Amino acid sequence: MAGCCGHEARFDGLSDAYKRRLWMVIAINAVMFAVEMIAGQTAQSQALKADALDFLGDALTYGLSLAVIGASLRVRATAALFKGLSLMAMGLWVLGSTVYRVFYLGLPEAGIMGAIGVLALGANVASVLLLMRYKDGDANVRSVWLCSRNDAIGNVAVMLAALAVWGTGTGWPDVIVAGLMAALFVNSSQQIIRQALQERRQPNARLRTSPR
């Protein structure tokens, strides 16, 4: 990532357009959390539940991102660090619950998984398009982009899992996808934590108030 050592100015979120888009993405994530959690419980799909928790985590951390916009670099980096650690915890929880399902495996409803996967993918593609212009900001801004990107990838994975469950007649594709999503959460959290720690060590780094 260019500029991680503080030699390049990074967008810090101080933009009314960015804030409006962030509010829109928060609303999308909050609605999809409720929809996917209900559907995941109905379909007994661990992949859907994992994706629903990702929506919830995103809605909460996006709210935190809004709250610290305009604060000092150290405060924003600390908020990003918290989000990175939260994402790491979420990934480990999904991994643990996936291991549990290996030993207590029920067949999820592929039809519900597929239908909700399509709905969630549309919501996440909309979020990604809203935030794409701001993907190279500071740790606080970048964490928002990574979470939105993960959601879109996760929904494609859930749809593929639904197809595989229907084709194989087993719940293993659902378990495998949930495990892969957990790995994606952990990888993204590492990126966020690494950049946040770098920015915390450089409180005087220059920041831009608008993206390139």
User: What pLDDT score does 2 carry?
Assistant: 32
- Give DSSP secondary structure letters for 77-130: HHHHHHHHHHHHHHHHHHHHHHHHHHHS-----HHHHHHHHHHHHHHHHHHHHH
Query: Domain 11-199, what fold?
Result: Alpha-lytic protease prodomain-like (1.20.1510)
Per-residue pLDDT band for 24 (boundaries 50, 70, 90) equals: very high
pTM over 0.95: no
Give the whole-angstrom CA distance, residue 114 versus residue 83. Answer: 29
Domain residue spans of the chain: 11-199
Give the whole-angstrom CA distance, residue 208 versus residue 212. Answer: 9
Q: 59: closest CA among 97, 38, 92, 86?
A: 86
User: What pLDDT score does 6 carry?
Assistant: 38
Q: 176 CB contacts (<8 Å, ≥6 apart)?
A: 161
Q: Mean pLDDT in the chain?
A: 75
- Cβ atoms of 68 and 79 closer than 8 Å: yes
pLDDT in tens, 171-196: 677 777 777 777 877 887 887 788 78
User: What pLDDT score does 108 carry?
Assistant: 60
